Amino acid sequence: MQWRGKNVVITGASRGIGRSLALELARRGARMILTARSRPELESVAELTRSLGADTVVVASDVSAADSASEVVAAAAGQLGGVDVLVNNAGVGLRASVDQLARADLERVLAVNLLGPIAYIQAALPHFRRQGSGLIINLSSLAGLMPVPHLGGYCATKHALVVLSRCLRAELREAGIRVMLVHPGAVDTDFRHHSLGSPFPSVPGRSRVSAEQVAVAIARAAEDGRDEVFVRPLDRVLLATARLLPRRRDRILLRRYGRTGVRP
């Protein structure tokens, strides 16, 4: 798939990975609808994408709100003339041991990380089916493929998104609609500072990738028609090793994520 001329909906586009992806896709000739809750931050991203030549529409919305998906997808159809790609990127973290999980926090991460993407998919699918093509890109995490102690609630939402996306991929294979899953590791964004629960411990710099690296990996994977995206080749190796040595994996991750964190 080529990005030039494609109409792309990006959720969580006000900062972090969503912002970098908007800029990367603008450089590749896409047109876009950017959504997140904070309008001023979205407007400043839109100013940059427009300066790169991309038609850009901004809709401030909370992905967990009942009518968010239908409003944003309708805006894409009405103002850009259609929707070709949906990127479910908006997400929120949650750090708490399972015995300390607050129900309200768990409901919030489920609403943003799982129910929001499902609503957006359901709103976009009629457009994709009519045109006989479309691409859904769901941002999961390495934490959606393996258990991370003290991130159980977050992992549960991302594991669910992984399984849902793979079911959807099978359901849509004959319809010409693709489903891509992205599995980043730690990314250098403000994600940890916006997470619910207790503060995240810092992750060593060498383990993190930049939001720009994630954006380029997504853009290229869509062009290459890949289904599952790891940002670094090393991540696949880490995952395979973690599966082979589960007790060692648990000890290492517990040391890293069980530490006391610091609020920014």
Instruction: Give the active site residues.
Output: 154
Write down the least CB distance from residue 182 to ligand NJP, Å: 8
Which residues, other chains included, contact 176 with Cβ-Cβ below 8 Å and sequence gap of 6+? 132, 133, 134
Cβ–Cβ < 8 Å for 147, 126? no
CB-nearer residue toward ligand NJP: 111 or 129: 111
CB-nearer residue toward ligand NJP: 7 or 195: 195
Write down the least CB distance from residue 32 to ligand NJP, Å: 14
Write down the least CB distance from residue 254 to ligand NJP, Å: 18
Nearest CA to 165 among 106, 229, 250? 229
Cβ–Cβ < 8 Å for 95, 154? yes
Q: How many residues does the chain have?
A: 264
Burial class (CB in 10 A: 0-12, 13-18, 19+), 240: exposed
Q: At residue 57, what is the residue type?
A: V
230: tokens are 């790891």
How many C-beta neighbours within 10 Å does residue 5 have? 10
CB-nearer residue toward ligand NJP: 131 or 259: 259
Interface contacts to ligand NJP, rule CB under 6 A: 11-18, 36-38, 41, 62-64, 89-92, 112, 139, 141-143, 184-187, 189-191, 194
CB-nearer residue toward ligand NJP: 94 or 125: 94
Nearest CA to 20 among 231, 206, 203? 231
Write down the least CB distance from residue 207 to ligand NJP, Å: 10
Please tell me what DSSP assigns to residue 80. Answer: I
